[in-house]
Structure 1
């Protein structure tokens, strides 16, 4: 039976000290999370585990008193990190999902969003993400599913039969949407360089943000591209409709776009709804090293906060603030490097928005991707191929793609460190 949302009394369901895990991104069960925050004072102290968050449900001024934990500070959860109430677990996305699957990490209460079956189908669907939330539910004391008829029913994302939800609650809001990040001339210039590195028939993985979106937008003239990615967005629909993405050359999942999480707008939701050409799979498949390595010509296209002269990548911390995550970056970088003909592309603007700080740096304090995994780095000024060369030559190539006004300082600092 599906209960109305106003019948849910979290004070009688959640115990003080519990860890409450909520669906992330566009799969956040907004009806449940909003009610959770509204009833927080009646519950007592508890911890909320969040993933990538794009709603304002947990804004610091609204959620005071709740402790937060996450694998990163993506989207609006970055405000929680700035407020000092977000405990970040620095781990690979694949490891996070494995920990919940095995019970090494546990949640007491799980709140998730599901889609009811369309005519001719059976069973609820996890809809917009097939992630660690479903795996955490296996070991949770209480699982509450928000049934959202406006959420798409997706292939590959069946609700696990071994742990049915304890309660089903009717949604009173459509799924959270995430519009494509806007990009400007700098990102467009980066995209042109990236396009030259992507052959027809390549299989794409890509991250979130303006730079990856720009890079994908520049691939409309390519043909027979495939997608095997942690996330997909609205730009993927553009590529499919233009005939650039067909998934025709993948050795398996031929003709099918593979993702773990769907982040986009109603247009994307309508595209994936009961569409057998799109499948939403768990990280044990999307982020699996052997699976990625078995796909030829993978192009992993990701951005970063900064890259140093040796090729080390920071995708987590800007200044003193945690604003990103390890996420699936290393999973896909290493998978692409193991792919026959595969390449890892780290694309980023050469400076911060105000131009004062170079994002090509002499050294970095936070290393997300080691220099031993460095491959291609792209800015608006060109491409640095870091394969098979020593550190001195790496520094020269990285300086060549830095902003011209910062090159002299980088060269001087590089000589001083030599």
Structure 2
């Protein structure tokens, strides 16, 4: 393994023309390596960078000739999509790990963030598809941060080869919890009423998910089995809300795949055996989710149509999200005994002029046959086991009042699918 000083880093020495370079995501992004990518473009020749969810500013000023691919346009990756630099692949998150592990999805060079400890190296703040890709890649370059926590469950197997290593003292990418507004708090109140004590929770990132987690403050003995772990979860663990004591799978342990948080979450994770980062083959697996009693999937969306189809990928014709793990968790939760799949969204855009309950969605992320429960600030629409007409009436009832006449008119005109 070659050790390189951060100031002497030259990625062009490792990247070849036509390569696909995979970079770690969210709080696991190797920032020093990511910052060196644009400089490698001229010397190495054209290459493609595969990104996940981006919460840093690392790629905001990426040169126009730099090309990207990814499983969605989540976070600040949406800026690259708007500039037509990002090619969004239609993939479920749960399929990525197997795709890279089998070589069906190619990764030539992998850039990842690690932590060092008495047990060696640890894939800090993520146990995701990046590790699977690294085991197949021609070249693996690691950034080892002294500020990164040792995450239980993400220890690197002895067989993983690291070709070059850069040591830094950089704080991992920080994504503090989002302050909730009146609309988010109203949505959170409706969701809290649907979730019983003892349920196991999957939830995403953003203002609505953070508000929903705040709304669980009076719940008891909740569990965590989620794609994401963040600051609000850490606060609720400290407050005794999340205990994982009633989980049927991984009892006594909070389980997640990646971290989107700040020092609050990082410190709680460090060498904490009660919180484990597990690969998507476990966190997103239908067989695991279906065995987790009272599994409650809570996801955000961009729009929902009157038949129950859900769009979590595009707005105004542009990619702004992705399929992610939404379908994995919705189907798993619906198969769970006592489980529920909740999709929460604002009834309108922030101007109030555009309804998010629509006659037809622009992109179908979740089929109407998988839809369960939809929540807006105006209430709850139970869609499972209901006819098309019943679904439409329930959804119009939770649309913003100023848009209900338009939705009723669309029904009369037959414009629902």
Match for residue 402 of structure 1?
A: 399
- 2:413 matches 1:412: no
Question: Counterparts of 1:133 and 1:405 in 2: how far apart (Å)?
Answer: 46
Question: Counterparts of 2:172 and 2:349 in 1: how far apart (Å)?
Answer: 33
Which runs of no fewer than 5 residues in structure 2 stay unpaired?
A: none
Match for residue 91 of structure 1?
A: 91
TM-score normalized by the length of structure 2: 0.97
CA contact (8 A) 1:146 1:169 kept: yes
Match for residue 282 of structure 1?
A: 279
CA contact (8 A) 2:146 2:169 kept: no
Report the more deviating stretch, 396-405 or 247-256.
247-256
Question: Counterparts of 1:55 and 1:208 in 2: how far apart (Å)?
Answer: 14
Instruction: Give 1:15-414 correspondences, 5 Å limit.
Output: 15-59=16-60, 61-117=61-117, 121-414=118-411
How far 1:66 moved relative to its partner?
1.5
Which runs of no fewer than 5 residues in structure 1 stay unpaired?
A: none
TM-score normalized by the length of structure 1: 0.97
How far 1:160 moved relative to its partner?
2.9
How far 1:172 moved relative to its partner?
4.7
How far 1:181 moved relative to its partner?
2.2
Question: Counterparts of 2:174 and 2:38 in 1: how far apart (Å)?
Answer: 20
How many residues are aligned here?
A: 414
How far 1:39 moved relative to its partner?
3.1
Question: Counterparts of 1:363 and 1:36 in 2: how far apart (Å)?
Answer: 41
Question: Counterparts of 1:5 and 1:238 in 2: how far apart (Å)?
Answer: 35
Question: Counterparts of 1:35 and 1:364 in 2: how far apart (Å)?
Answer: 40
How far 1:64 moved relative to its partner?
2.7
Deviations 1:325-368 (A, max 9, x none): 10000000000000001000001110000000110001112000
Question: Counterparts of 1:162 and 1:358 in 2: how far apart (Å)?
Answer: 52
How far 1:107 moved relative to its partner?
0.6
Question: Counterparts of 2:97 and 2:388 in 1: how far apart (Å)?
Answer: 35
How far 1:252 moved relative to its partner?
2.8
Match for residue 9 of structure 1?
A: 10
CA contact (8 A) 1:5 1:172 kept: no
How far 1:43 moved relative to its partner?
1.8
